[in-house]
Chain A
Amino acid sequence: GDSVTQMEGPVTLSEEAFLTINCTYTATGYPSLFWYVQYPGEGLQLLLKATKADDKGSNKGFEATYRKETTSFHLEKGSVQVSDSAVYFCALYNNAGNMLTFGGGTRLMVKP
């Protein structure tokens, strides 16, 4: 079945540091890929998406590129802020399953 693997956290960075959170996936066909963010005590917010190979999703300074050859969708941001502290989830959607499959989440902590 489909699966998503993300780097384990927590990831602790200083403000303005560069962020990378690794995500790889296993899926049949051509899934769509997503990053969701979850702030403490809240539900999930869609951060960015990519629906086909080589697409780059971007939002609020975050970027991720759909790499089919390496089955990866790594999240990057050039300069993190304290307000980016949250849990980040990588996910895929496979049309055959009509559902999102999530990774285990990566907690990011940004210190001033």
Chain B
Amino acid sequence: DAGVTQSPTHLIKTRGQQVTLRCSPKSGHDTVSWYQQALGQGPQFIFQYYEEEERQRGNFPDRFSGHQFPNYSSELNVNALLLGDSALYLCASSLVRGSYEQYFGPGTRLTVT
């Protein structure tokens, strides 16, 4: 049973550029959440998608946007990258009923120079 997968593993971008990160949920899961984990800190909630709609959003600017596809996979887009966007981006999947139990992928390490 495949778990949550994310791509790419690592990414280096320049300030002002745009980036797209991808996530495939665990088989059978229908809800995807995204988190940002800065170095040495706990993950911070960005947003959650269900039925291709943003269901909940954390305290992140509009430069952060997302999408969920009919097969439940998801993308996180970040525009106008800042140095402070350098972090590990984690995707988590769950079932909308019982979405408290979230399973995390290995993350994408984004470095902005």
Binding site for B on A (CB under 8 A): 4, 32, 34, 36, 42-46, 49, 51, 89, 91, 93, 95, 97-105
Interface pair A98/B99, CB less than 8 Å apart: yes
* Min CB–CB distance B82 → chain A (angstroms): 22
B104 partner, pick from A4, A43, A99, beta carbons under 8 A: A43
Q: How far is the CA of A43 from the CA of B55 in the complex (A)?
A: 23
14 A-B pairs with C-beta separation under 8 A = A32-B100, A43-B105, A44-B43, A44-B90, A46-B102, A89-B42, A97-B56, A98-B48, A99-B45, A99-B58, A100-B45, A100-B92, A100-B100, A102-B44
Interface pair B90/A93, CB less than 8 Å apart: no
Interface pair A105/B42, CB less than 8 Å apart: yes
* Min CB–CB distance A100 → chain B (angstroms): 6
Interface pair B42/A102, CB less than 8 Å apart: yes
Quick one: which of B22-74 are within 8 Å of A by CB?
Answer: 33, 35, 40-45, 48, 55-56, 58
Q: How far is the CA of A84 from the CA of B40 in the complex (A)?
A: 18
Residues of A near B102 (CB, < 8 A) are 46, 93, 100
Interface pair A99/B33, CB less than 8 Å apart: yes
Residues of A near B101 (CB, < 8 A) are 46, 49
Interface pair A51/B100, CB less than 8 Å apart: yes
Residues of A near B48 (CB, < 8 A) are 98-99
Interface pair B100/A93, CB less than 8 Å apart: yes
Interface pair B45/A103, CB less than 8 Å apart: no
Interface pair A44/B100, CB less than 8 Å apart: no
Q: Which residue on A lies nearest to B105, using beta carbons?
A: A43
A43 partner, pick from B41, B100, B106, beta carbons under 8 A: B106
Residues of B near A102 (CB, < 8 A) are 42-44
Interface pair B90/A43, CB less than 8 Å apart: yes
